[in-house]
Every structure is written in C-alpha cells, then in structure tokens.
Copies of this chain bind each other. A is one copy, B any other.
C-alpha cells in the first residue's frame, strides 16, 4: 500500500485523485493548496499546483518525500527541506474529459534511488510508459510539447478559421489530421513531409499566400522557409 497526498484542486490533481481512488494499492488524500495548516503525512506528497505556486507550497511541507507535476519547474527549486522528486505527466488534460492514464507517459525524477523506485511503482500502477527524465531534459521536453501540442492545435485553429470563412465543415479535415498524427509512428516527421514547401512548388506557395490574411501569411512564409531550410 502506498499512501499519497495530493495538494491542489486543479485539473491534474483532480484527474489523478480519481485514478488513484480506483486502485486498492493506493490510499489517497486530496487537500486544497490554500489550506496547509494540518498537512497529513504520506509516502509521496504530490504538489499539483500552477508553476508559480510550487515554491511557496513546497516551503510549507515537512513530509518525507515531496514531488511536483510540472514540466518546466526544476526539481531542485522545490523548497521543502526533505527529499525531492518529480512526477510529470506528458499529456494535455481537459476538464470533464476522462483521462486514459494507461496511455500517459510518466516522466520521473528523484534525488534518492529508493524514492525513484517508489515513484516508478506508483506510476506503473497507472501506465507502463515510464521514463527517467532529469530536470534539464524535462525543461526541453516541455518546449517540444508546446510545439506538438499548443502550436499544432493553433494550426488546427487556422484550418478551422479558413473552413468557417468558406462555408466548409471543419470535420472534412479530420481524416487528414488523424493521418498526419498517425504517419509519424512509422516514418520520421522529416521523411513524412509532403506539400508545396518541401517540393519547392513556388507557384502554389504564391497562390496560397494570396489567399491568406496578413497574420496567416506571415506564419505560412516562416514555416515554409523553415521546412525548405530543413531546420
């Protein structure tokens, strides 16, 4: 039995609480980060609050082993005087949408070897995808995640905007979006690239630019140049 204390009431804390609650191997408690007067002890204390609150919250905790769930916050910046670690899930969580934790990659880090094994044991109860990722790697992984998630989603938004302006149902792009995501499981993104940029099809590029708003034109130009330069 592993006892887990979850601090925070946001998206990640709530999803984790639900998942842990369903496992008989785990005894889980959840508290609000604003009510830190009587903090219960636990084998693992997970701080799941926004980045700018982690330092302050961790400063108030004396539990043996304290981890956070952030992609960009260094483990050593935790302010508890006890042992430290990281329990970062590389996934986007949506409020009110059930999370399939079995598909979530867990990025783990701990100062102490036994603590690492404990984190690994906890993660494995939810998912078989566990990675030892140190704070430097995690920082960069978080940037990569911004590109493949936030920026990709913005590409979808621009696609949606173009569809809306031209009375085309956005769902027409669904299969292409799926195939684009699926293709890179068997082909590197570099090899998967197609389209006017990589073909140096200047005629089509020119025609496309003529159809775009100033903002989207700038994005189109920059990404086309980047694809063509291979960087």
Chain A positions near chain B (C-beta within 8 angstroms): 51-52, 72, 90-92, 94, 97, 103-105, 107, 129, 131, 133, 136-137, 139-160, 162-163, 165-169, 172-181, 183-190, 192-198, 201, 203-204, 207-208, 211-213, 215-216, 218-220, 222-223, 226-227, 229, 231
Interfacial chain B residues near A178, Cβ < 8 Å:
103, 181
A185 smallest CB distance to B (angstroms): 7
Interfacial chain B residues near A148, Cβ < 8 Å:
155-156, 159, 173, 176-177, 180
In the assembled complex, the Cα of A207 lies from the Cα of B132 at a distance in Å of: 22
Q: Which of B139, B142, B166, B194 contacts A92 (CB 8 A)?
A: B194
Interfacial chain B residues near A212, Cβ < 8 Å:
143
Q: Which of B140, B144, B154, B198 contacts A189 (CB 8 A)?
A: B154
Copies of this protein in the assembly total 2
Q: Which of B52, B157, B162, B176 contacts A193 (CB 8 A)?
A: B157
Interfacial chain B residues near A195, Cβ < 8 Å:
146, 149-150
In the assembled complex, the Cα of A181 lies from the Cα of B163 at a distance in Å of: 17
A187 smallest CB distance to B (angstroms): 7
Determine if B146 and A183 form an interchain contact, defined as CB atoms under 8 angstroms apart: no
Interfacial chain B residues near A149, Cβ < 8 Å:
176-177, 180, 194-195
Determine if A160 and B173 form an interchain contact, defined as CB atoms under 8 angstroms apart: no
Q: Which of B163, B167, B184 contacts A153 (CB 8 A)?
A: B184
* Chain A contact residues, majority secondary structure: helix
The 9 closest A-B pairs by CB, nearest first: A150-B195, A157-B189, A156-B189, A144-B162, A144-B159, A148-B159, A181-B181, A147-B155, A152-B155
A197 smallest CB distance to B (angstroms): 6
Determine if A150 and B105 form an interchain contact, defined as CB atoms under 8 angstroms apart: no
In the assembled complex, the Cα of A165 lies from the Cα of B196 at a distance in Å of: 28
Determine if B146 and A163 form an interchain contact, defined as CB atoms under 8 angstroms apart: no
Closest chain B residue, CB of each to CB of A104? B175
Determine if A185 and B174 form an interchain contact, defined as CB atoms under 8 angstroms apart: yes
In the assembled complex, the Cα of A16 lies from the Cα of B117 at a distance in Å of: 53
Interfacial chain B residues near A172, Cβ < 8 Å:
90, 105, 107, 129, 131, 141
Q: A91-B175, A146-B197, A156-B184 are in contact. List 11 more A-B contacts (CB 8 A).
A: A91-B176, A92-B176, A107-B172, A136-B166, A137-B166, A140-B162, A141-B168, A141-B173, A148-B180, A154-B227, A219-B222
